[in-house]
Amino acid sequence: MDSRNANDGNPSIPLPNPGEGGAVYPGMTEDNMQNNSATPVIPLPNPGEGGAAFPGTGRPQGGNAGNIGGTVLPNIIGTIISTYPRPNEPCRFCSPTNPRAGYARFLNAATGYNPFVVFLNENMFSSSLNFAEVTAYERVGRGTQVVTIMGENGYIFVQKQVEFRNDEYVTIVIINTESGLDIQVISDNGCDRGSNMACVRAANFAYNSGPLTVTIGNQYLTFPNLRYQDVADFESAWPGLYVYTVTRNMNARFPGMGVNVLLTAAVNLQKNRNYTMYLLNWKRDSSDSIKVLIVEDL
């Protein structure tokens, strides 16, 4: 399901979000982030950390994890967020008459707002969801339920019906629009890994960034020209350590040679795992302020 209609409500005056004080330097740690006990705290990725690096060979061959394709990498391994459903967790968002359930989580990709309070029908899903945070999956009853995105002051930004299907995993992304906020529902199902492979995809939720291309390895995997709200299909990949780049055009093979490289970092893909690379704007008024949040899907 793709929900792109703007909300009629006008947003409050945007206030800075945690971590939006400028570029993140290599020495920054999670302690620099503002913690919140109600929801998972997602440390900022490392935008541009270490500068552009040649992506190396297509498939990692083992050995030194800091050396890919003959290029020694700085410590730029990106943080991967795992949001598996908790085992034997009761279904807080089911009804006694409808015990069958799917799974849902929320991701805040909206730049320029204070934390949100998230409801599913009348039940609170998250009491304080900051920018670039993602909740754990929760079991939700199948059928139509009402999603409400509200400010901590009680102002309702978005209120929409969402259809949930039995055994389906979805991420509900809070996004910027021209007139305020909206939500977009994306499916996290549908990757046939096979033979102990990993699966990975990219999704562009960097508002006003223009089309972006994500390249993993030496064009081993490429997700080209992703426009805002585009979500690529999953692609299978050999597990291992890869350098990835985010650029503005198709030619990402030699970053730094006439190519507009916005970000270069590394990701360690594990076998039998699915990953989504969410492209976000950490400063709404700068189209080049790209960060990547890498999340395990299931």
In the prediction, which pLDDT does 291 show?
93
> Is the fold of 43-76+190-296 the same as that of 101-187?
yes
Q: Identify the residue whose tokens are 């019906």.
A: 161
Dihedral sign from CA coordinates of 225, 230, 231, 232: negative
Where exactly are the structural domains of the chain?
A: 43-76+190-296, 101-187
Strand partners, 261: 247
- What's the CATH architecture for 43-76+190-296? Sandwich (2.60)
- What's the CATH architecture for 101-187? Sandwich (2.60)
List the chain pLDDT tens, one digit each, 298 residues. 444 444 444 444 444 444 443 333 333 334 433 433 333 333 333 333 332 333 333 333 333 333 344 344 444 445 566 555 555 566 666 766 666 688 999 999 999 999 999 999 999 999 999 999 999 999 888 889 999 999 999 999 999 999 999 889 999 999 999 999 999 999 998 687 777 899 999 999 999 888 999 999 988 899 999 999 999 999 999 999 999 999 986 454 555 455 688 999 999 999 989 999 999 998 877 778 899 999 998 7
The answer to whether the pTM exceeds 0.75 is: no
